[in-house]
A = this chain, B = another copy of it.
């Protein structure tokens, strides 16, 4: 058990923007909201997974929608509690602890809001060890847990409760609600026991994000050292350095979708690099050849400052360093790849090869 203060949540937001693989929402927004929350309500309690009782009631608190919308329609901050209240009212229970669905500049911070306001602990875990675009793309789903009932809320206090046995169907229904509710909403879902959380989550996500965020913060003082420590901490592979030549982006069906094209610089001069995204970067090709695919992470950084660049912030002229990062081991199983492998995103012909084993 430890407490997360302002520095910790800022580091988490920054680090989570790396682990989010381009998605998960704007880290600056996340930092502002988290800082305000901690200043107003005090430090947040973080529990390791083995510190939560097996019979405790645990629930996921997450945002759903297009990150492109999030930066224009900034959350009020009460949505996560509205969603939690809707779920508690529907199931006639109260929850003992919260956890995030994924690592993300906004989604890592999301459960901190109701946690701080209610004085509930957070678990140092998530359901992805990164970010993925869809609700069913979590380890809990792979292990057969139901996402329903789901509390859904917008910033005006309009709420829904969704009940379905099929997590992909839950994604469809909540995505439809997202579109009708303005493009970004809050959910409370995947209610589970402490025992289930221990068995089926990716452990240590907040701590990892915090460490990565602290490394990036140190880049202001020594960029080369920070780069080396980052590569080592993440087991990362450098994929490309280049200048963004073009971004095709459309916010459609509750997602930000598109493709970014980079022209090589430094050692990569003459090369072309493409990153396709559905909120998250899912496929990276160098000169037409896949070099990293989901479920491995594709993370972009400003070449000079090592500031993470999320999908919605990519624009013409950005000078980006792109890393490939091995995903959590749960995703490299056949069951995991069925949910988040290349085929799950429409790349039918592309086999999954761990990023560190691909030849360059």
Which positions in A face B, CB cutoff 8 Å? 86, 90, 156-166, 169, 172-173, 175-177, 179-181
Contacts and interface: CB of A to CB of B under 8 A. Distances in A.
A163 B158 contact: yes
Contact of A180 (B86, B161, B176): B176
A163 B160 contact: yes
A86 B176 CA distance: 19
Contacts of A163: 86, 158-160
A172 B162 contact: no
A330 B163 CA distance: 37
A173 B160 contact: yes
**How many copies of the shown chain assemble into the complex?**
2
Given A177-B173, A180-B173, A180-B175, A160 B161 contact: yes
Contact of A158 (B86, B159, B169): B169
Nearest to A162: B160
Contacts of A169: 156, 158
A181 B174 CA distance: 11
A158 B167 CA distance: 11
Contacts of A161: 90, 160-161
B158 A160 contact: no
A161 B160 CA distance: 5
Nearest to A158: B164
Contacts of A90: 90, 161
A286 B272 CA distance: 61
Nearest to A172: B180
A162 B185 CA distance: 14
Nearest to A82: B163
A254 to B, nearest CB: 10
Contacts of A165: 157-158
Contacts of A180: 172-173, 175-176
Nearest to A178: B176
Contacts of A160: 160-163, 173
Contacts of A164: 156-159
Nearest to A153: B163
A86 B157 CA distance: 20
Contacts of A172: 180
Closest 3 CB pairs of A and B: A176-B180, A158-B164, A176-B176
Most chain B Cβ neighbours within 10 Å, of A161, A162, A175: A161
Contacts of A175: 180
A65 to B, nearest CB: 13
Interface centre among A86, A157, A172, A175 (most CB of B within 10 A): A172
Nearest to A92: B92
Nearest to A170: B158
A166 B159 CA distance: 12
Nearest to A176: B180
A347 B156 CA distance: 30
A134 B172 CA distance: 22
Contacts of A176: 176-177, 179-180
A163 B177 CA distance: 12
10 contacts: A90-B90, A90-B161, A157-B164, A158-B162, A158-B164, A158-B165, A158-B173, A159-B162, A161-B161, A177-B177
